[in-house]
């Protein structure tokens, strides 16, 4: 028998204090970083009465068109000329659903062009994001 086992006996309890400390630190880290991961681009959406909420799963991507006409797939900026190839690679090949989120100041022609690029990339179902009007 080892020397330390004869003096005090075996310790049959597990000290959970370090585990609790680590778990609390991880909880705080996730609480701080989770809202940053879901935050998107600043886009002033058009308003409509009938709106469904955007699915929260990882099987969809959001294509945003800002007021100044820049395109973002998630948080990555994409040129309009390359949009067809990028959508083919990230959405069609990975079988994800695409949602279009356009600022209400964006010209209609640009929105139609983006929708045409999505159709050319093989995306059959394109969701459009809007918001409910605020009640006064």
pLDDT tens readout for residues 12-56? 788 888 899 999 999 998 888 776 665 555 665 556 666 555 566
Residue 129: the pLDDT is 78
Report the Cα 105 to chain-centroid distance in Å. Answer: 23
Residue 133 DSSP class:
P
Assign domain 60-128 to its CATH architecture.
2-Layer Sandwich (3.30)
Residue 134 DSSP class:
P
In sequence order, what are the beta bridge partners of 128? Answer: 100
Q: Which residue has the higher pLDDT, 133 or 126?
A: 126
How many Cβ atoms are within 10 Å of 41's Cβ, its own excluded? 15
- Domain ranges in the chain? 3-38, 60-128
How many Cβ atoms are within 10 Å of 84's Cβ, its own excluded? 16
Contact 134, 119 (CB under 8 A): no
């Amino acid at each position: 028998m080892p020397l330390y086992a004869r003096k005090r006996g075996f310790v049959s309890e597990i000290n959970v204090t370090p585990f609790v400390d680590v778990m609390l630190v991880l909880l705080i880290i996730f609480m701080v970083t989770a809202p940053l991961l879901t935050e998107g681009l600043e886009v002033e959406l058009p308003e409509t009465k009938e709106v469904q909420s955007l699915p929260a799963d990882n099987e969809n991507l959001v294509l945003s068109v800002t007021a100044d006409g820049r395109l973002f797939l998630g948080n990555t900026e994409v040129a309009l000329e390359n949009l067809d190839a990028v959508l083919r690679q990230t959405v069609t090949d990975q079988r994800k659903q695409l949602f279009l989120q356009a600022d209400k100041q964006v010209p209609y022609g640009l929105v139609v062009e983006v929708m045409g690029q999505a159709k050319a990339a093989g995306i059959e179902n394109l969701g459009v994001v809007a918001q409910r009007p605020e009640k006064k």
